[in-house]
Amino acid sequence: MLPTTLRVALVQQATVWQDPAANLAKAGEFVAQAARSGARVVVFPELFTLGFTMVPEPFAEPIPGPTVEAMATLSREFGLYLVGSVVEAHVPHPRNAAFVTAPDGSLVATYRKLHPFSYGEENLHYSGGTDCPLFAVDGIPCGLQICYDLRFPEPFRALAAKGAEVVFVPANWPARRISAWSTLLAARAIENQMAICGVNRVGRDPQLDYPGRSAIHDCFGEVIALGDAAEGVVVGNIDLAAQRAWRERFPALKDRRPDVYPGL
């Protein structure tokens, strides 16, 4: 029988610019804090060991590789699922990839950002991914998206059609567009009747300020947990029993007409 609740911790990290060792050291402290809070899943921001760098090649690594192995060690130590993000080695350009390690240390999912952020020229330095894999957290069907992907409803709907109940969204979303972040998180939750967990970094990189505002939205779009602009861990409980009951009572996903809009 599937769990009826899921406790999630979002790590609002002040990422040290392009310093993997420093950021991994901080990660261990955050995972320990999340474990003490009773979380089952701990989610880190996009490219949490580096920041949103447009010079990815020196930091590119395979999956699994050093960053995944470091997170797998933490997963085993604390018995938790961890969601991280890394520059994955790939030709012609590296990929912005998220991954999930399980309590036994195994790698259970890898997702490559579908939509490199062309406004910031990420598309010139990173190759986009090609699929939206589903994975399980204690049997709960889950998915991943990364930052700019949030502006595209199609992959979220594709995950919902596969049965996803929770989607995790690691991000580096800047202060100047933070209202869009909050609005889109709620919209993706409402339209797909799923929980959306968006984690955003805090602090500053060489160009931008990041305000946190990490949030967990339930299937009604309501905020379960919300961060401010401070570094730390934001924790909330997702009521999956209520979500499943809502999907049954209000069958919006079943009422879709894909025969009318086959291109979507």
- Is 254 domain-assigned? no
Residue 262: pLDDT over 70: yes
CATH number for the domain that contains residue 245: 3.60.110.10
Amino acid code (one letter) for 240: L
The proportion of the chain whose per-residue pLDDT surpasses 90, expressed as a percent, equals 98
Annotation marks residue 46 as catalytic = yes
- pLDDT tens digits, 12-57: 999 999 999 999 999 999 999 999 999 999 999 999 999 999 999 9
Annotation marks residue 142 as catalytic = no
> Which entry of 26, 61, 132, 147 is annotated as an active-site residue?
147
- Is 76 domain-assigned? yes
- Is 256 domain-assigned? no
Rounded distance between C-alpha atoms, residue 111 and residue 146, angstroms: 9
The b-or-e profile of 64-85 (16+ CB within 10 A means b, else e) is: beebbebbbebbeebebbbbbb
Number of domains in the chain: 1
- Is 38 domain-assigned? yes
Q: Which domain holds residue 211?
A: 5-249
Annotation marks residue 162 as catalytic = no
Contact assessment for residue 259 and residue 24, using Cβ atoms and an 8 Å cutoff: no
- Is 258 domain-assigned? no
- pLDDT tens digits, 47-100: 999 999 999 999 999 999 999 999 999 999 999 999 999 999 999 999 999 999
Structure tokens at 135: 């994975």
DSSP annotation of 119 reads G
- Is 131 domain-assigned? yes
- Is 10 domain-assigned? yes
> Which entry of 26, 46, 88, 122 is annotated as an active-site residue?
46
What is the structure's pLDDT at 140? 98
> Which entry of 26, 61, 88, 113 is annotated as an active-site residue?
113
- Is 133 domain-assigned? yes
